[in-house]
A and B are shown apart, each in its own frame.
Chain A
C-alpha cells in the first residue's frame, strides 16, 4: 500500500479509537489480517430506529490511492434498508462515490453510515424492493427491519421476537425446501404474504 495511505490509516485508527463515539461504543474499527488495507468497522444501530440494539459489521477496503479515492465499504451484517442491498450489503451513499473528498476519514464514513440508518433516502435507493415497502407500507418496513436486526445484528437473550414472522419462515422452509435466509428474503420482499413468497420462489 502506498505510503500516504498507510500513514493516513494509522492516524485514522487512533482518531476513531480516541473519538467520543468510540468511547460510547457507537463506532469502532479493527484490522483484518494485520493489513492496513483491510479493515472491519462496527456501528451500533441508532436509537429510535428499527436498527436499535444491533451491531452492524462493515467490510472496509482501503484502495492504493487512498485518501484521494474513497474506501470501499459494504455491510457484512445483513440489513433491511432502502439504501443498502439486502443481498450483497452494497451501499448507495454519495460520499462513497463521486462526493468523496480527501479530507474525509473512516470516522466520518462510519458516522455517515449511522446517519443513513437514522434517515433513509428512499428516492435514491440501492434496494428497490425495500424502498418500495418503505414508501408504500412503512409499518411493515419497520417490523421487517426490526426483525432483520434481531436475527442478524443482535446476540444474547435480549433478541426481539415476532412469532408470526418466525412461523411463516418455518412454513416456507418446509414447503419450498429452502434455507432460512432465502425464506426470510422471499417473505420480506412480499410483505410477509406466504402465498406470494412461495410464488416468487417458484418463478
Chain B
C-alpha cells in the first residue's frame, strides 16, 4: 500500500474533479481510461469520450501515455488536468515524455551548463536524499512560515488554470521570473491563453496537503552547492549556499548568510533602496549587488524578520522626514506638518498621535521652550497620564526607576548623532564619529557634537 498515492484530476470547465487512488506503477494511459469512464458515467447525455480524445496535463507538459506515475514528480494529492484535445498533432510533441520539473531541474545552474556533468557526479557524494536532490528550488512558504524546497509549476496567464502546455522549457531565471517570456497553449475549454505564468509550490513534508493556495516566493539566490565552492565567511564547503547577485557571484553558506543578515540588522546597517526596499549587498562589498528579493531575509527567522520589517518602516519614515516617538514602548511613526503661522518657539513641538507624548523634534526630549539642553541628564516624565491612574504607585515607581536607569545609562554612555539624533556609543578609537545608521552616515566630532572639521583634527583628534 505504500506505493499508492491519491491524485486529483480536474476536468471540465466548472472545475469538476475526481480523486483516484493509484499505484506508482500506473501509466498515464491507465489514468486516461479511468478518467474517461468516470466522465462518461457522470455525463450520461453527452457523446461518450474515448481515452484517445483527452490529454493529461501536468506542470506545463502533456504527459505521454507510456509514462508511469513514479516518473512524473507527482506527490500525494497532486492535481493534474484532463482536457479534451484541441490539436491532434500536439500529442506527439517531442517534449511530452519529460515533465517540466525534470526538464528545468538544472535551471539553477543555467549559465554553468558546461559543468553539469561534474555537478551531477559530486552530488552523489552529498548527504542529500534523492527527494531533496530532485527539487532544486528553495522557497519561502507563508503557510509553513519556513524556507524549504519548492516545486516549479506553470499555469495559463489568462485563465490561471494549470491547463497550459509550454512551447519550450525555461532556460534561465529570467524566463521564470519575468512575465511573458515563455509562450504556450492553454487547453482549458475555450480559453485562448498563450502565455505561460510560472509559480512555485511548497514541497515541504510538513506542508498541509490541502493548503495549496498559500503564497510561495522563490528564493532564487539559494542553491545547492554542486560546484563545492568555499564559503567566503567560514571557508567551509557546505551543501546549501547563497550566491550574491554581484558580478563575481560571491558564495556564502546559508548559515553564514543568516549570521551576516543578523549582524547587519543588529547594527542597523541594511540599506534603503527606493526600488527594492530595505536590503543588503554582497558581503564582500561589491558594487551593484543589492539583493532584490527581500524574502531572502526570512532566513533570519520570524522574530528577527519582524524586527527587520520594523526597521524598514522606520527608515522609510525617517527618509520621508517623519519622526519616531521617543517615548519608551511607543515608537509610533509620525509625519509632522508644519504651519507657517505658528509661533516659531513652538515649531518643534510634536504631539505623538499614538501615546500623546509631547516632545521636541530637535532634541527628541520632552517638549520645552527655548534652546535644547544638550548634555545634562534628562529628567523625562516617564509616567504618562493614562498609565499612572491604572497602576499602583509602588509598581509604577519600580518601573519608573528601571526606565530612568536605562535611560540614564544610554544618556551617560552615548551622544546623539547631531544630524539624526540616533544615540551613538563610542568604544575607543579617535573622536571622528560616523553615524552607523544607514541613510545617515553623518561625519561628526564626539567633542564638538557638530560636523567633523579640520579644526577638530588639529585640536582634539585624540582628545
Contact = CB atoms under 8 A, between A and B. Distances in A.
Nearest to A12: B235
B235 A127 contact: no
B462 A11 contact: no
Contacts of A103: 232, 250, 283-284
B284 A102 contact: yes
A90 B427 CA distance: 12
Given A65-B263, A103-B283, A90 B458 contact: no
A2 B252 CA distance: 17
A176 interface: no
B461 A126 contact: yes
Interface stretch (A22-30, A66-74, A107-115): A66-74
Contact of B234 (A4, A85, A90): A4
Given A8-B233, A11-B235, A99 B285 contact: yes
Interface in B227-276: 232-236, 250, 252, 255-256, 259-260, 263-264, 267
Given A69-B267, A101-B284, 6 more contacts: A4-B255, A4-B259, A68-B259, A90-B430, A101-B283, A101-B285
A161 to B, nearest CB: 29
15 contacts: A7-B234, A7-B236, A67-B233, A68-B283, A69-B263, A69-B267, A85-B461, A88-B462, A90-B428, A97-B434, A102-B232, A103-B232, A125-B461, A126-B430, A127-B462
B429 interface: yes
A127 B461 contact: yes
Interface of A: 2, 4, 7-8, 11, 65, 67-69, 72, 85, 87-88, 90, 92, 97-99, 101-103, 125-128, 131-132
Nearest to B256: A4
Nearest to A132: B458
A102 B233 contact: yes
A22 B346 CA distance: 65
Contacts of A68: 233, 259-260, 263-264, 283
Nearest to B427: A72
Q: Chain B, interface size: which category? A: 20 to 34
B128 interface: no
Contacts of A69: 263, 267
B71 to A, nearest CB: 42
Contacts of A85: 430, 461-462
B457 interface: yes
A98 B267 CA distance: 12
Among A90, A103, A126, the one with the most B-chain Cβ atoms within 10 Å of its Cβ is A103
Contacts of B236: 7
Contacts of B285: 99, 101
Contacts of B233: 4, 8, 67-68, 102
A188 to B, nearest CB: 15
Interface in B407-463: 428-430, 432, 434, 457-459, 461-462
A88 B462 CA distance: 8
Contacts of A87: 462
A127 B462 CA distance: 7
A7 B233 CA distance: 9
In order of increasing CB-CB distance, the 9 nearest A-B pairs are: A101-B285, A65-B263, A102-B283, A68-B263, A103-B284, A101-B284, A4-B234, A103-B232, A128-B461
Nearest to B259: A4
Interface string B4-44: 00000000000000000000000000000000000000000
A102 B461 contact: no
A99 B252 CA distance: 19
A140 B83 CA distance: 91
Nearest to A7: B234
B148 to A, nearest CB: 23
Given A8-B233, A126-B461, A72 B428 contact: yes
B301 to A, nearest CB: 16
B307 to A, nearest CB: 16
A102 B234 CA distance: 9
A188 B372 CA distance: 42
Given A68-B259, A85-B462, A127-B461, A7 B235 contact: yes
A110 B418 CA distance: 34
B458 A128 contact: yes
Contacts of A132: 458
Contacts of A4: 233-234, 255-256, 259
A65 B459 CA distance: 34
A126 B252 CA distance: 34
B262 to A, nearest CB: 9
Contacts of B235: 7-8, 11
B462 A90 contact: yes
B125 to A, nearest CB: 22
Nearest to A126: B430
Contacts of A72: 428
Contacts of A125: 457, 461
A132 B459 CA distance: 12
A4 B283 CA distance: 15
A119 to B, nearest CB: 20
B260 A102 contact: yes
Among A67, A85, A125, A126, the one with the most B-chain Cβ atoms within 10 Å of its Cβ is A67
Contacts of A67: 233
Contacts of B267: 69
A132 B454 CA distance: 12
